[in-house]
Every structure is written in structure tokens, then in C-alpha cells.
Structure 1
Amino acid sequence: MLSSLFSLLLLLNLGIHGQTYSIEEPDLQDEIESKANSPAIHQELKEKIRKSYVANIYLPDVKEKSKRKMSFTYTVPEDLIIDGKVIAKKGQVINVLDKVKLTTKYLFLKDYQMPLFEKLVSKNRNIAAVIIQGDLLPLNEKYPNHRIYMGSRQLIDKFGITGVPSMVYQEGTSIVVEEIPYVTKH
């Protein structure tokens, strides 16, 4: 009985009782739009975007040419199961590069070393630049038809890169890290 009375009250429009007041706060939508159109906000966003394209990882310049191979062979610590299927058993020795192929060469370098990238790409288009120090925006504008990426400390550590420029590529079932000296005035 009580629930039917409550339902009836919900359906009835009892109208407005008492004095109403206008809200003195600005409309939330208007407030958001006015702040979004603020030149200061636009400038702040531009600066944040600009800074996100600047790589700043220090590595020394390579002085001597060298080449070393890295093995990506490891012992599986426990059964490797993907989609319910055992891919590798615990204790099995596997090399990831038997299954996954690194088809692109990656040249880790600083922005001012890009002439070396240009020279190498003129002979082999399958090279991507990985910038570890410098501004990527002007490079992407200058080289719109090339793959240019921002380097990360994780990649540098994984490949054991100790100086730049360094070319990383797959040779058989190994990864090769080749240090290439580059002399320039900067």
C-alpha cells in the first residue's frame, strides 16, 4: 500500500512551490569553453606538446668503429602458455629471433648526426632513425618520408648501446650492434 502511494506521488507533478532563484555561478559548459579558448591555455598546451617531442638521453659520441653480436637466447623459467597452448616447456632453451624477425635496421643517433642517416638511407631505405638527443619536430618536418622515432632508455639498455651513432639490426638469430663513428662540428 505504501509503495503504491509512493509511486502515485512520483507520477504527480506537484508544481513549483515557493520562490525560485537564478543560479549566480557561471554555466559549466560556458566556463570550460572560455578557458579552452584562453591564449594562455593554448600556449601552455603547445609548450607541453613541443616538450614531448624533445629527446634528452645522454650517450657519448662513438670514436671507433666496432661491431658486436647479442644473443636473445634464454631458458624458459616456467611453461609458456598462449591461448591454452604450450609454446615452450619449463627449462627449454629458446631464441626469440627464431620466430620473430627484426626486418628494419635502427640507427640510434643525436639530431645533429642526421646527415649520416641521410647517407645510409640513400643506400638502404629500410633504416629508421631513433633520436636519443634533440628535437624531433623539425626532423619530422625536414624528413617527412622517413621513419624517425624517439629513443628510450629501455631500448638503449636492452641493446647495450654505449655510444652513438649505433646501428641495430638482425643477422641470423643474433642482434648486431654496430657503432659507427661520425665526425662533425656542432
Structure 2
Amino acid sequence: MDQGRCNQGQGLRPFLVWNSVQGTPRMLASRAFASAATIFALMSSTAYAMESIGPVNPIEEPSMLEEIHKKLRELEATGEMERFKEEFVENTKRSVEEPPPVQNVITTREARSYHIDPTWTAPNTITTPDGKHVVQAGDSINPLDYITWSRKFLFFDGRDSRQVELAAQIITAEKGAVRAILVAGRPLDLTRTWKRQVYFDQGGSLVRKFGIRQVPALVYQDGKKLRVDEMLP
């Protein structure tokens, strides 16, 4: 091997490998060179992607938060904010003091009584966390086989003085074992007057469940069923 060529090859050793068979230097890219080239290519690509494609203008739309604060300051300055607060408080008090009446319920025109069977059929098998069967699918269960409904439910219209008077008489006769439930009227006023809790059937969910169409109506347990009496006021 020629010494001069060896010395020359040693100076280029990171990038040249001597081919002893052919006697000529063979150029190979080192790992360092390849890595540097890759990083440079990525940096160039990234820089190109971040370049502006078209004209760039400053954002001129006002900040939404700033606009909201500006509007609130204007309302406070004109006194409108205080008026809104007062209206909100009054509307809230009104909805609590006198909720919207339950729809499709009238004062009893013709007394009637009927029974409701609370028996329930299980659509699926119910098990405990440890796998024990509580109820098999298809089983019929009557809750009144296991519990006693000790309180009666009395539904009435608090706007009708006759119904209010009848409700007071029933509550006294039952020695308080009655849950008074309004379908219209002012429950808080009656609560203060009677010094006992008076409820309101919000949205009419209970009267629909019991099928009540007329009030006053009394719901109570009768054997293994529930009885509903729609009474004349």
C-alpha cells in the first residue's frame, strides 16, 4: 500500500474508506454526516411551513370579554342593572310563592272512586353484587306486600276556599297523617297559616301517576291496592 495514499487517507478518515483491492479511495457518508443532513432538511421544511403565504393584517375585532364588561358598565351607569336584579328577585319569589298551576285538573263535578294496582313485573332478572337472585325476569311484585302506606295524599286547589276548608277538616280528622299537596295556589302561605308543611305537585307528575283529573282527591292504601277518591268540595 502506498504510504502517501495512506497518509492522505488518514486525513479524510471520517469520510473516506480506503479500498485496498482497487487501490482507490471510496467515499462513504458517515452517520454523523447523515444525521446532520436530516436535521437540516427538517429545519428547512419547518421554516418554510411557517412562512407567510399571504398578507397578514392585525386582528381588528373587539374582545368579546371587553364588550361584555363595557355593556355591563353601561347598564350600571343607567340603572338598568339594578332594575334587572329586582325583576329577577321578584320573578324568583313569585315562582316559589305561587308556582304555575297543574294543567288538566279541574274542580270535582262528579265524585268518583277507583283503585290502582301497584303490581310491577320485572323486565329483567335482578341480582345482588355477589350474584344472588333477588327477582327473576317476569316476576310480579306488589310493593304493598312488603310495606304499608301510612300517610294519605290529599290533592287540592289552594285558590278555592271550599277545598282549603275541606282539606283542613280531613287533616284534623286523620290526626295529621295526611300529606297536603297543592295543584294550584300558594303553598308557603298555607304552610305559615297551618304551621305544617304543604307541598306542591310541580309539573303535575303525581296527579298523572295516580290518574287524577279532579280535586280535591284523596289517595290512600286499601288492602293491596291504592284507592283514589275524587270528592266534591
TM norm. shorter chain > 0.5: yes
Could you tell me which residue of structure 2 aligns to residue 18 of structure 1? Answer: none
1:161 matched to 2:212? The reply is yes
Q: Structure 1: which 5+ runs fail to align?
A: 1-24
Structure 2 letter corresponding to 1:75: T
Q: Deviations over 1:108-158 (max 9, x none)?
A: 11002211111111211111111111222222221222x311114221111
Are 1:44 and 2:88 matched, yes or no? yes
Write out the 4+ residue segments of structure 1 that deviate beyond 4 Å after TM superposition: 37-40, 82-85
Superposition deviation, residue 161 in structure 1: 0.6
Q: How does 1:49-88 map to 2 (within 5 A)?
A: 49-52=93-96, 53-58=98-103, 59-84=105-130, 85-88=132-135
Deviates most, 162-171 or 85-94:
85-94
Per-residue CA distance 1:57-85 (angstroms, 9 max, x = gap): 13111123322111011221111235544
**How far off is 1:97 after superposition?**
1.9
Q: Which fold has the larger relative contact order, with Cα–Cα distance below 8 Å and residues 6 or more apart in sequence?
A: 1
Query: Is the contact between residue 55 and residue 136 of structure 1 (CA under 8 Å) also seen in structure 2?
Result: no
Alignment-derived partner of residue 21 in structure 1: none
Aligned length: 150
Unaligned runs of 5+ in 2: 1-65
Percent identity of the aligned residues? 23
Q: Secondary structure at the match of 2:214?
A: coil
Q: What is the aligned partner in structure 2 of residue 126 from structure 1? A: 177
| Deviation of the 1:42 alpha carbon | 4.6
Moved more, 60-69 or 169-178: 60-69
TM-score normalised by L of structure 2: 0.57
Give the counterpart letter for 1:51 in structure 2.
Answer: S
- Cα distance in 2 for partners of 1:144, 1:135 equals 14
Task: Give the conservation status (yes or no) of the 8 Å contact 2:188–2:198.
Answer: no
Distance 1:72 1:91, change over 3 A: same
Q: From the CA coordinates, give the structure whose radius of gyration is larger.
A: 2
Q: Deviations over 1:81-115 (max 9, x none)?
A: 35544321111111122223322101111002211
Alpha-carbon deviation of 1:38?
4.7
